[in-house]
Amino acid sequence: MTVSTIILAAGKGTRMRSPTPKILHRIAGKHLIAFSVDLAKAIKSKETIVVVGNENEHATKVALSGEAVNFCTQKSQLGTGDAVKVALEGFKIKSKYTLILYGDTPFIKSNTIKKMISKAEKGFEFIFLGFHARKKNSYGKFKLGPKGTLIDIIEKKEPEYNSPDSLSNSGIVLAQSGIIADLIQKVTNNNAKQEYYLTDIVKLAAKHGHSSTYVQCKEDECIGINSQLELSFAEKKFQDNFREKLMASGVSMQSPETCFFSYDTIIKSGCIIEPNVFFGTGVKIQSSTIIKSYSHIEGTHIGRHCQIGPFARLRPGTNLLEEVKIGNFVEVKNTTLASKAKANHLTYIGDAKVGAHTNIGAGTIFCNYDGKNKHLSVVGDNVFIGSNASLIAPLKVGDASIVAAGSVINRDVPSESLAIARPIQQNKIGLAKKIMLKLQKVADKMRK
């Protein structure tokens, strides 16, 4: 059965109290709205329509620019029923069934939607998703009829709302496209909030001889985000699950709760992650690598048997092959280090290629930026860069060469050469003693 998806995301999200639209807040580095877009993809939705408001339209389009989704704008937020109506008026749905998701409900599982689809295959025209809530809440409540049918959903502000034991409405619905397109026109705002409630569709369906039912899932799946505090709870839940999955796959963590992962972090088995490590988006780490404490890593690939940190900063475009060592206070950006290369202390390596077995001494700076443009440095295999060297790009340092400590290098270094670029040292025999005596005399005079 084919399904099209409408994601409701026009709400203002005022309770977030933030200039950032609610659905563009992130969990594990991923926009809230992207979770719903990915869910639509997971169930092979034929088309996906995102309903945005005037205020979040531009930013949402930018955030989802790589995605195959259509947008429509709900000019005033008159309720969930109105949002669906705007989408159905703007697009002729191509599938027999339409799935309605929210942009602020990131944990719904594709298996749950598949259960809803199988109810549709049995002939139900509307399938709502409900759950048993542990605590008192203000969700819409299901009113059930015989044989698992749904006869109404009562919203919090409405007079009949008094059944704390009923299933709560997650808001997610699967509906037969033709029927919802027709019935949505009949929804009114004659209620306590003067809103167009999507949930009124249940009563309307019954009135017009259509069947509604429900699927039940766990409360955890239906977590919606309305405030910064709820966002932090959702983040915690995501992180806890993610860490559990990593450890189950053979990654060791001494203090998992202190490490932060992004939704797309990949770490292979045999890796050890010490306490307090941050993984931004786009990180992949091959097996048996150790990441020491207080490292900050994003947009980076790390090969097998590497040692990173403590206090390493790996920025986007970093590619470390096997057995590379990056030590404390080393920053690497847009750089490949080949196997067994080392930069163990206090170094910046930007826009470079560093060969195998090359050693970058403490305090070395790759000077990649001239104030207007970034330039590339290429350092060969088996090179020794002495401490506190400045390598001014664009630059090539040939294989098996040596750069003397303290050098400022701005010309290419041929292979197997020593490059030394620092003032020549002079030793003035006995002069230190003479200077000290002179200074002592001055000090004695001043004290008198």
Q: 48: helix, coil or strand?
A: strand
Whichever of 198 and 285 has its CB closer to ligand UD1, that residue is 198
Shortest Cβ contact with ligand UD1: which residue?
140
Written as six digits, the tokens of 84 are 């669906």
CB 27 within 8 A of CB 235: yes
198 binds ligand UD1 (CB under 6 A): yes
Rg of the chain in Å (alpha carbons): 31
As measured in angstroms, the least distance from the Cβ of 210 to ligand UD1 is 18
Q: CA torsion 94→97→102→105, rounded to 10°?
A: -130
Written as six digits, the tokens of 91 are 């697009």
Binding map of ligand UD1 across residues 216-245, x = CB under 6 A, - = no contact: --------x---------------------
60 binds ligand UD1 (CB under 6 A): no
Distance CA 294, CA 370 (A): 30
CB 58 within 8 A of CB 269: no
Whether 345 sits among the annotated catalytic residues: the reply is yes
As measured in angstroms, the least distance from the Cβ of 66 to ligand UD1 is 22
Q: Return the residues of window 138-197 that contact ligand UD1 according to CB under 6 A.
A: 139-140, 153, 155, 168-171, 197
Long-range contacts of 337-344 (CB under 8 A, 24+ apart): 338/381, 339/303
Place of tokens 């230190």: 432
As measured in angstroms, the least distance from the Cβ of 84 to ligand UD1 is 9
Whichever of 11 and 398 has its CB closer to ligand UD1, that residue is 11
| Annotated catalytic residue within 301, 345, 357, 375 | 345
Q: Return the residues of window 69-128 that contact ligand UD1 according to CB under 6 A.
A: 74, 77-80, 82-83, 102-104
Whichever of 49 and 395 has its CB closer to ligand UD1, that residue is 49
As measured in angstroms, the least distance from the Cβ of 203 to ligand UD1 is 12
As measured in angstroms, the least distance from the Cβ of 107 to ligand UD1 is 12
Place of tokens 């470390």: 320
How far does Cα 445 stand from its chain's mean position? 69
User: Residue ranges of the alpha helices (H) in 195-329?
Assistant: 201-207, 228-248
As measured in angstroms, the least distance from the Cβ of 251 to ligand UD1 is 35
199 binds ligand UD1 (CB under 6 A): yes
> By rule CB under 6 A, what count of residues binds ligand UD1?
27
Distances (CA, A) of 230 to 16, 236, 264, 348, 422: 9, 10, 22, 39, 58
DSSP 8-state class, residue 410: -
Interface segment toward ligand UD1; rule CB under 6 A; list 7-15, 60-68, 235-243, 328-336: 7-15
Distance CA 147, CA 145 (A): 7
Whichever of 222 and 246 has its CB closer to ligand UD1, that residue is 222
Dihedral over Cα of 353, 358, 362, 364: its sign: negative
State the residues that interact with ligand UD1 by CB under 6 A. 8-11, 51, 74, 77-80, 82-83, 102-104, 139-140, 153, 155, 168-171, 197-199, 224
The residues carrying an active-site annotation are 345
